[in-house]
Structure 1
Amino acid sequence: MGRQATAWNTMQKKRWTLMILALFTLLTLTFFFFTRSAFNSCNSTDHFQAQIQSASQTSSSGPNPLGFMKSKLVLLVSHELSLSGGPLLLMELAFLLRGVGAEVVWITNQKPAQADYGVIYSLERKMLDRGVQVFSAKSQKAIDTAMKADLVVLNTAVAGKWLEGVLKENVKQVLPKVLWWIHEMRGHYFKLEYVKHLPFVAGAMIDSHTTAEYWKNRTRERLGIKMPETYVVHLGNSKDLMEVAEDSVAKRVLREHVRESLGVRDDDLLFAIINSVSRGKGQDLFLHSFYESLHLIQEKKQQVPSVHAVIVGSDMNAQTKFETELRNFVLEKKIQDRVHFVNKTLTVAPYLAAIDVLVQNSQVCSATSEFSLESTLCFYQCSCYFIFGKRTKRRY
């Protein structure tokens, strides 16, 4: 009996691994198709329109690459529901799966006391309107769904706490059908309380080869555990973003509107960092560098346009300790007329159109394909794109 059970478990593990491999392969092809279309669009507007038309014809005439997920039950587990990268990416996956007829259930593992419930309600409403079911993370419905699901996607390392905290004795039955989508690179995520079940899942999906290698090394050296089969899926470009990038009239209108709302003139020089404000994302380095630049300009008495900085990704409601530190620094250095905080938003195209220089943390850029980089540069006629970090100083 023991041997039969072991053989059955092995067959189940192989079955889920093959399903996840198929899903990974088709997601890669899907991301690559739209990414390549966006990349080629940098050449000319006519070519861009041709690519969009070609994509529409292909999608309408050919089979959907995710068609094999039709009628499958998929459980998506997010560590939070907010206007930050991880949850929004998982929502996009939910809509892709719903588009091919999969049954999709969403659960949010934690809702902090200071969470913006207006945002949570809005995002949940958006999912419900698209046919995604939303269950409480600790409900019996969530547990039953995990047991019956054809695929369980854990989003971010932190979501691993849900396995032990909710499934309890049922964890081992669910692990063989788990695809773990990991985005984080900061050290405090490498804790056994988050990832102790990582070696036993069917597979891990990571946004870049750099991040994948980092996770393999850190889990082995710090935790003494081995990563499961790991697949790298580069993030593609937003079709909407590319359409704005190629529309000079739209860019000009957006630029004027955003600059007017910020109190920035058209000939002022505007630097920006676009990311949810949190420790490790680089906003502190950005502000310190910006202040030093202002000081240097004044010291050297250089004749340059008025310089401004905008931080897109603030959370006006939560006012975290880190963001409070940033705002206090701005007040202390008396640069509040030069630094502008913008709340988290799903719409970043207007800010890309309005700014002159985009500054990005190198850790974030490690998950960005060259296609994404090139598409971002489509927004700028005089392109300036800085990547900073401990080991990376590049300018494009």
Structure 2
Amino acid sequence: MAKHSVVMAKKKWPLMLLAFLSISTVMVLFLRPNNSCNNIKSFEQQQQDQILASSTSSVNPLDFMKSKLVLMVSHELSLSGGPLLLMELAFLLRAVGSDVVWVTNQYPAEHDQVIYSLESKMLDRGVQVLPARGEKAVDTALKADLVILNTAVAGKWLDAVLKEKVNLVLPKVLWWIHEMRGHYFKVEYVKHLPFVAGAMIDSHTTAQYWKNRTRERLGIKMPETYVVHLGNSKELMDVAEDSVAKRVLREHVRESLGVRNDDLLFAIINSVSRGKGQDLFLHAFHESLQLIQEKKLKLPSLHAIVVGSDMNAQTKFEMELRKFVIEKKIQDRIHFVNKTLAVAPYLASIDVLVQNSQARGECFGRITIEAMAFLLPVLGTAAGGTVEIVENGTTGLLHPVGKVGVTPLARNIVTLATHVEKRLTMGKKGSERVKDRFLEHHMSERIALVLKDVLRKASHN
């Protein structure tokens, strides 16, 4: 690249990093858990008809929330998907004039820079931040038009803070659940779940799992459940459709990683944990390099980037990843990057996204639709909400979860590395799919239907 381009990239980088913050971890269809499949489709069609009707208007579908008092309860405040998604909803509601109050149930004793930054971001946008415990939190819950609990773990706040007043608040609670791991199914977390106004879940797979698990393991019944797929923020879409911005970001990130413009870069962008499958991805990537060598394929150099690392934590799992890279002598091919809110620069710099969540898969996977907006094909596990996003063979390729998925993923990596036209076509199809159903206005329209229903129920109690 010309020296001028590199200089411009360095000058613009700090500003773009701030401007293109993206939240990775709301919305398409609604599911009533007690309905038959035919009734579910009928209900979803009704919602689609309402959304199509509202789409012709320039009025914000959330305008009815103006002056409504909304209390949001998050189990923690971190760079993980649940809290960030709740923050995004807080900002959408603030944009239409809602009074939004935020409490974080689990708050560390020591100063935390991430929490400080996120709280500052909320305060700047007019979201009031209160301590999770105390009379102010209780009074706000009693006065609120709507209380949104974020994640199953947030249920611990109900008894701990509201105590004998909890039954006064439950009829106006919308419980937004993102988890699919078994250890969240504890009575002390979700015993009040049957009595809230509704539950909102990110995928049909997750909703069905919760319905079955709560009934079979805990003997409790889910409330009315709304399945709400996620949508991309307007800020991210602005970057995804700005070719100049993407080129500058691509140049800068690749230069910082030591990756050439013609090299092929595969990325996994999730907090580093065993459930997200970074270990199996690295095994598959190593196997793909062996396949390329065995078949004597003439390809650009392949690289992998793991975004979501946390060297400060020094976790055993992360040490395992780095040890594997050293043992296989692929240090020059693997790049670790710390977790960040700003995923747009990395999406602009890569060629393929890998969504490798294990076990039951990803609840939905915000990063998947973000990558598709950037014209990227997705290699994902055939589990969870990923199968509701990625059309296998059209917008990406799916592989099984677990160790049996390593070789299929390796082959899929080689397939996309060797077939440029397929890679580009899948990326284009993915972008079209995002514009058709995974944008912010889709999110606002669909969540508006949920909030209206919950408010209607709350007013009748």
> How would you bin the TM-score normalised by the shorter chain?
0.7 to 0.9
For 1:322 and 1:159, locate their aligned partners in 2 and report how far apart those are by CA, in whole Å: 26
In the alignment, which residue of structure 2 is the partner of 1:90? 86
CA 1:321–1:172 in 2, change beyond 3 Å: closer, same or farther? farther
Structure 2 residue 379 is the aligned partner of structure 1 residue 386: yes
Maintained 8 Å contact 1:234/1:368: no
Q: How does 1:264-303 map to 2 (within 5 A)?
A: 264-303=259-298
Counterpart code for 1:79: H
Residue 326 of structure 2, aligned match among 328, 331, 354: 331
Structure 2 residue 226 is the aligned partner of structure 1 residue 231: yes
In the alignment, which residue of structure 2 is the partner of 1:68? 64
Unaligned runs of 5+ in 2: 1-43, 398-425, 427-461
Counterpart code for 1:106: W
CA 1:325–1:110 in 2, change beyond 3 Å: closer, same or farther? farther
For 1:378 and 1:87, locate their aligned partners in 2 and report how far apart those are by CA, in whole Å: 23
Maintained 8 Å contact 2:100/2:128: yes
CA 1:390–1:367 in 2, change beyond 3 Å: closer, same or farther? closer
* SS at 1:280 equivalent: helix
Maintained 8 Å contact 1:361/1:389: no
Residue 77 of structure 1, aligned match among 52, 73, 79: 73
In the alignment, which residue of structure 2 is the partner of 1:103? 99
CA 1:301–1:364 in 2, change beyond 3 Å: closer, same or farther? same
RMSD: 3.0
Q: How does 1:142-221 map to 2 (within 5 A)?
A: 142-221=137-216
In the alignment, which residue of structure 1 is the partner of 2:457? none
Deviations 1:11-39 (A, max 9, x none): xxxxxxxxxxxxxx9xx88xx78xx99xx
For 2:112 and 2:255, locate their aligned partners in 1 and report how far apart those are by CA, in whole Å: 30
Residue 340 of structure 2, aligned match among 322, 342, 345: 345
Deviations 1:167-207 (A, max 9, x none): 22222222111110011112222222221211111110111
Deviations 1:285-309 (A, max 9, x none): 2122122223333444443322211
CA 1:111–1:295 in 2, change beyond 3 Å: closer, same or farther? farther
For 2:66 and 2:300, locate their aligned partners in 1 and report how far apart those are by CA, in whole Å: 56
For 1:111 and 1:283, locate their aligned partners in 2 and report how far apart those are by CA, in whole Å: 28
Q: Which moved more, 1:255-264 or 1:315-324?
A: 315-324
For 2:326 and 2:298, locate their aligned partners in 1 and report how far apart those are by CA, in whole Å: 25
CA 1:335–1:140 in 2, change beyond 3 Å: closer, same or farther? farther
In the alignment, which residue of structure 1 is the partner of 2:124? 129
Tell me by how many angstroms 1:259 deviates.
0.6
TM-score (norm 2): 0.67
TM-score (norm 1): 0.77
In the alignment, which residue of structure 1 is the partner of 2:3? none
For 1:267 and 1:229, locate their aligned partners in 2 and report how far apart those are by CA, in whole Å: 51
Tell me by how many angstroms 1:374 deviates.
6.9
Counterpart code for 2:117: S
In the alignment, which residue of structure 2 is the partner of 1:377? 372
In the alignment, which residue of structure 2 is the partner of 1:17? none
Counterpart code for 2:78: S
Tell me by how many angstroms 1:133 deviates.
1.0
- Provide the aligned length of Structure 1 versus Structure 2: 340
For 1:328 and 1:90, locate their aligned partners in 2 and report how far apart those are by CA, in whole Å: 36
Tell me by how many angstroms 1:248 deviates.
2.3
Maintained 8 Å contact 1:75/1:153: yes
In the alignment, which residue of structure 2 is the partner of 1:244? 239
Maintained 8 Å contact 2:231/2:369: no
CA 1:194–1:321 in 2, change beyond 3 Å: closer, same or farther? farther
Maintained 8 Å contact 2:178/2:363: no
For 1:390 and 1:202, locate their aligned partners in 2 and report how far apart those are by CA, in whole Å: 29
Tell me by how many angstroms 1:355 deviates.
0.6
Maintained 8 Å contact 2:211/2:222: yes
CA 1:120–1:374 in 2, change beyond 3 Å: closer, same or farther? closer
Maintained 8 Å contact 2:70/2:147: yes
Unaligned runs of 5+ in 1: 1-24, 38-53
Residue 367 of structure 1, aligned match among 364, 368, 373: 364
CA 1:366–1:164 in 2, change beyond 3 Å: closer, same or farther? closer
For 1:232 and 1:199, locate their aligned partners in 2 and report how far apart those are by CA, in whole Å: 17
Maintained 8 Å contact 1:153/1:178: yes
* SS at 1:145 equivalent: helix
For 2:272 and 2:206, locate their aligned partners in 1 and report how far apart those are by CA, in whole Å: 20
Maintained 8 Å contact 1:79/1:155: yes
For 2:86 and 2:74, locate their aligned partners in 1 and report how far apart those are by CA, in whole Å: 8
Runs of 4+ displaced beyond 4 Å: 362-366, 372-375, 389-393
Deviations 1:301-335 (A, max 9, x none): 44332221111122343333433332333334333
In the alignment, which residue of structure 1 is the partner of 2:256? 261
